[in-house]
Amino acid sequence: MSIHGQGKVIMFVAVSMDGYVANEQDEVGPLFDWYGAGGGVSYSLDGDPAYAFDTTAETADFLSTLVAPIGALVIGRRVFDLMNGWGGNAPAGDHVYVVTHQPPTDWEFADTAPFSFVTDIADAVKQALETAGDRNVSLAAGDLGGNVLREGLVDRVILNLVPTVFGTGRPFFGTGGVAEPVLFDDPVVAQGRRVTHLCYDIRR
C-alpha cells in the first residue's frame, strides 16, 4: 500500500518454528528471549533508550535496515487488552491504532494516550500511514495481520523465527486463510542469537 514518500506496512513479530505467535493462552514463552540474548549492541526500534535491548550487530543491522524507523503501530483488540495499551504509551512510533468494534469505555489512559480505536481495517492502516509519513507502520501478526494481508495492504512480512515448537497456538497469519496464493520475493536473511530474521517483500 505504500506509495512514493511513504513508509511501508510491515507485518512484524516473533514466531515459533511451527508458525505460532503465542500459545492458546496468549503466552509467548521464549519467543522474545532474543531481545535480551546479548551480543553487546544496545538497540531500540524507535531510538528510545527505555525500550532498548541487548542484541547482536546482525540483529541490529537487520532491524534498522528493514524495519525501522517506525512511525505508527496497528494492533488488534486482543493485543491491546493483553498489554493494557502499554500503560498508555506507544511502545514504538508516535501513535497506536487499535482495530476493534468495541472501543474501551473505562480505560484510564483514554484521554491522554496516543491511541485511536478504529472499526475499519483499511481506515486504520490509512491513518497509520498518514501519521508515519516517510517512516514505517508496524502491523501486529495473528488474525489482524492476516486480515490486512488479505486486504492487500501489507508491503513486507518479517518473521523473527525462534528455535522452539509450540504444537498449537495463535497462527502468525491468523485463521482466515487466503482466497488465492500470496507471492513474496526471495527473503533477506540474518542470523541473530536465538533468532533467525527473514524479510519477505510482497511481490507486486
Residue 107's domain spans which residues? 9-31+70-201
Residue 74's domain is classified under what CATH number? 3.40.430.10
Domain membership flag for residue 54: no
pLDDT digits (tens, 9 = 90+) for 35-93: 999 999 999 887 778 778 999 999 999 999 999 999 999 999 999 999 999 999 998 99
Beta bridge partners of 156: 10, 201
| Structure confidence by residue, pLDDT tens digits, 22-31 | 999 999 999 9
pLDDT band for position 108 (cuts 50, 70, 90): very high
95, 124 Cβ separation under 8 angstroms: no
Distance CA 107, CA 97 (A): 15
Q: What is the pTM of this model?
A: 0.92
In 10 A of CB 36, how many CB atoms?
12
Residue type, 93: G
Q: How many domains does the chain have?
A: 1
48: in domain:
no
82-119 residues labelled b (16+ CB within 10 A) or e (exposed): eeebbebebbbbbbbbbbbeeebeebeeeeebbbbbbe
> Which SS3 state, helix, strand or coil, does residue 6 take?
coil
